[in-house]
């Protein structure tokens, strides 16, 4: 094996070991909460020596930050896929909106422990980590509002409603569905939820008055 190949393999091994520790941190923080969790808990869950932990992180705080960074990286990838989605062709638009909704719900539910940490623990840990949480939240909100404004310009969504208000409705409902499903340890019927959303978007909430 060449020197270059050995160095590349060593780098891959280091990255795998770091991810192993982050995996363990997700499990520990989700199970115990940030304040009750310890480095010893993470080391035990990861099955590594204390010295190995300190090769990658100097503290519990750094490990927690790495957990938030993992979510943020996955979110950015999701947002990039959403940005590339074509909404300009009105033919089949409802189908694309439904597919987008399903993709976001699955994204938030694919790693329920990570989602729980980000949306239920991060803001309460420490001002520094609250800022990390808010950074993720601001990115999510900005992307969503941009999408809503675009859908208003092509007359898919009503233009007389504030994009920020619509975003709060969509975001709040989605997170309630996701966090309730996580708390109940059950898999929701995402197809049925998507159908409900499309019917709501299509018809609104209030019944039309009889003439």
Model pTM?
0.80
Q: Which of 72-81, 135-144, 188-197 has the lowest mean pLDDT?
A: 135-144
Q: Which pLDDT score is estimated for 58?
A: 96
If 0-12 CB within 10 Å is exposed, 13-18 middle and 19+ buried, where does residue 123 land? middle
pLDDT in tens, 126-168: 777 777 777 777 877 887 788 888 888 888 788 889 999 988 8
Q: 11-61: per-residue pLDDT in tens?
A: 557 889 999 999 999 999 999 999 999 999 999 999 999 999 999 999 999
pLDDT at 121: 81
Instruction: State the fold for domain 64-211.
Output: Tetracycline Repressor; domain 2 (1.10.357)
pLDDT at position 152? 86
Supply the pLDDT for residue 44: 96
pLDDT at 204 > cutoff 80: no
pLDDT for 7 equals: 47
Please determine, for residue 5, whether its predicted confidence score (pLDDT) is greater than 50: no
**Domain residue extents for the chain:** 1-58, 64-211
Span 54-77, average pLDDT: 92
Residue 27 CB burial class (10 angstroms; 0-12, 13-18, ≥19): middle
The CATH class that applies to domain 1-58 reads mainly alpha
- For residue 204, the 8-state DSSP code is -
Give percent of the chain with pLDDT exceeding 90.
Answer: 40
CB 204 within 8 A of CB 108: no
Give 190's pLDDT tier (boundaries 50, 70, 90).
very high
């Amino acid at each position: 094996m060449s020197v270059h190949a050995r160095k590349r393999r060593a780098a891959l091994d280091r990255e795998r070991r770091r991810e192993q520790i982050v995996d363990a941190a997700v499990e520990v923080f989700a199970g115990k909460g940030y304040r009750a969790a310890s480095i010893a808990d993470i080391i035990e869950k990861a099955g590594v020596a204390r010295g190995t932990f300190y090769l990658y992180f100097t503290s519990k705080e750094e490990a927690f930050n790495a957990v938030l960074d993992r979510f943020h990286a996955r979110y950015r990838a999701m947002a990039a896929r959403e940005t590339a989605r074509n909404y300009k062709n009105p033919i089949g638009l409802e189908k694309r909106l439904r597919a987008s909704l399903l993709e976001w719900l699955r994204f938030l539910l694919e790693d329920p422990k990570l989602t729980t940490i980000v949306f239920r623990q991060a803001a309460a840990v420490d001002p520094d980590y609250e800022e990390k949480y808010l950074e993720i939240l601001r990115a999510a909100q900005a992307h969503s509002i941009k999408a809503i404004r675009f859908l208003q310009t092509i007359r898919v969504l009503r233009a007389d409603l504030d994009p920020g208000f619509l975003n709060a409705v969509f975001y709040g409902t989605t997170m309630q569905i996701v966090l309730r499903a996580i708390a109940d340890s059950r898999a929701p019927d995402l197809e049925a939820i998507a159908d409900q959303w499309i019917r709501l978007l299509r018809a609104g909430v209030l019944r039309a008055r009889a003439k």
